[in-house]
A and B are shown apart, each in its own frame.
Chain A
């Protein structure tokens, strides 16, 4: 009001340091560092090989889920072909591994690049299709890839690009990087690759593409009016999601030293969509939760001798729950529910304390907080 120049400068100063994090974001960074420290330093050395192998799969599928979450949550494109993209990444890496002596990181990049190109090809129909139509087209891609893999003796390996061994047990193992030949070391390697992929996506989300995607998701008309090249950014989203999926597919290829067709069945794409929706598509934490549901839960069920079909029922119920009442998934709902629980406990404790010493030191009057809880709830859930 007084002098627009000074207020402008003041605001400039408050906005200019873009990498500056607010309290909320700092919380996320602390949590992410904690997850990393535990999974890099603690878990590989204390867990048995059974759990180490499970966690390698969690690291792999967290990136696959991140890619799908990017498409669904940020751009609003439902793709059921991500497992096919993963298969393409794994297969490319496996063949490169048999045929060349390229360093492992180079194989990761090439696998990502090949998967990225396929992703763009899938993304092309996405320019004209959306919703159910896009889901069906991508599902057919997944089906086609499965058929191709089955008819090209997919899990089979052998030397060279086209090498073939008649006995499935005679395949040479897919080589791992020399610094990560043991399982615990490979878990660390997988976590670091996954971390790099998460950072790549986060960097996108915080810059120009992320803002363009947010605009496209809300309204394509508003995006057009803002000068956003919708075609370019939709293709870009598919390319990025497929690139990270391809890179992590290479990690998957070397994780078990042999590739099997089981993880690349068409139906797995649907299961993946279910856990991604359950985990939550609006934050990157959802991807980690989805991977835990998809890869760690089966191991736990296995140990407890529970039927794996129970998992499918659980995922089905979970998806219904997400679609009907909790669109933000576990990653969005859990903090809200925990906060609500915390407030409820606090108000109960306050009431109990108030009851015990008649006029206790509790500043807020007796029933106040208990009523305030539901009233405060709708804040921030504006449509």
Chain B
């Protein structure tokens, strides 16, 4: 469970997150909102790339804001990026291993965990091949393997399906749905693809202009008039 209270982020005169207060209990949460709504900023605060002006974030009893960014990863926070960040110069195996060896505290087997994560995302490529030789879908899967290896507690997925064709998005969706059961982690999925969000997420939170428009069961949220008007920028139904 993640409890966020009164979270505010400012960049100069721009307020990207404006007093966000929300409690996420579901293991599969969606995060939607138009461009510039503050979705990526929300993830960046959770990851520690951005410091908030005020507010608290408590995840499974831990005050996340007190941890340095790399220690959050060690705690179990993982994320993917809007522009995928699989490491070009490393092999698939090393891409996943780098996360494992910097976050693992137990005595589990590096090889088994890393290969297990690669197996989980269904990458049918030799783990020794370089990421530079892979296509867009495979690179997204490598990033996904990086996000689930070891023992993640919270997995943030920032538009993982951006630029992928329908078939590959479906595969990604089935993967995302399996993450909580396989790893025990809580997943937050930010995406513009409503089919993907409704297929994966039980709860969905909507941001607009840095504020929470609504949060609740996905199907209800997607029917909400305020959500429709936030997306279309229309006020006809108001």
Contact = CB atoms under 8 A, between A and B. Distances in A.
A182 to B, nearest CB: 43
A214 B90 contact: yes
Given A225-B47, A227-B103, A14 B128 contact: yes
B48 interface: yes
Given A224-B69, A380-B132, A212 B89 contact: no
Given A4-B119, A218-B88, A222-B87, A227 B73 contact: yes
Interface string A195-211: 00000000000001001
Contacts of B98: 208, 211-212, 214-215, 226, 228
B85 interface: yes
Interface string B15-35: 000000000000000000000
A382 B130 CA distance: 11
Given A225-B47, A227-B70, A8 B119 contact: yes
Given A12-B115, A214-B90, A226 B133 contact: no
A8 B122 CA distance: 12
Interface in A1-35: 4, 7-8, 11-12, 14-16, 22
Interface of B: 47-49, 69-71, 73-74, 78-79, 81, 85, 87-90, 93-94, 97-99, 101-103, 111-112, 115-116, 118-119, 126-128, 132-133, 146
A14 B111 CA distance: 11
A275 B69 CA distance: 37
B73 A224 contact: yes
B81 A229 contact: no
A256 interface: no
Given A15-B127, A211-B94, A380-B132, A218 B87 contact: yes
B138 to A, nearest CB: 13
Given A225-B73, A225-B79, A226-B99, A7 B119 contact: yes
A227 B119 contact: no
A225 B78 contact: yes
The 4 closest A-B CB pairs, nearest first, are A227-B73, A227-B102, A222-B85, A227-B103
B144 to A, nearest CB: 13
B237 to A, nearest CB: 39
B115 A15 contact: yes
Contacts of A212: 98, 102
B58 to A, nearest CB: 20
A221 interface: yes
B115 A229 contact: no
Contacts of B111: 12, 15-16
A221 B49 contact: yes
Given A215-B87, A224-B49, A380 B70 contact: no
Given A214-B90, A228-B102, 8 more contacts: A211-B98, A215-B90, A215-B98, A221-B81, A222-B85, A227-B102, A227-B103, A380-B133
A218 B130 CA distance: 14
B47 A224 contact: yes
A50 to B, nearest CB: 41
B23 to A, nearest CB: 24
A212 B94 CA distance: 10
A227 B76 CA distance: 9
B87 A214 contact: yes
12 contacts: A11-B118, A14-B126, A14-B128, A217-B89, A219-B81, A219-B85, A221-B85, A224-B47, A224-B48, A225-B85, A227-B74, A227-B102
A12 B112 CA distance: 7
A230 interface: yes
Given A222-B87, A226-B73, A382-B132, A208 B101 contact: yes
Nearest to B150: A227
B127 A11 contact: yes
A7 B124 CA distance: 11
Contacts of A225: 47, 69, 73, 78-79, 81, 85
A230 B48 CA distance: 13
A147 B213 CA distance: 63
Contacts of B81: 219, 221-222, 225
Contacts of A14: 126-128
A313 B13 CA distance: 50
Interface in A162-215: 208, 211-212, 214-215
A383 to B, nearest CB: 8
Contact of B85 (A218, A229, A380): A218
Given A218-B89, A224-B47, A224-B70, A211 B132 contact: no
A226 B97 CA distance: 10
B49 A211 contact: no
Contacts of A221: 49, 81, 85
Contacts of B99: 226-227
Interface string A225-243: 1111110000000000000
B233 to A, nearest CB: 30
A148 B79 CA distance: 49
Contacts of B90: 211, 214-215
Contacts of A219: 81, 85, 87
Contacts of B49: 221, 224
A190 to B, nearest CB: 31
Contacts of B128: 14-15, 22
Contacts of A211: 90, 94, 97-98, 101
Contacts of B146: 226
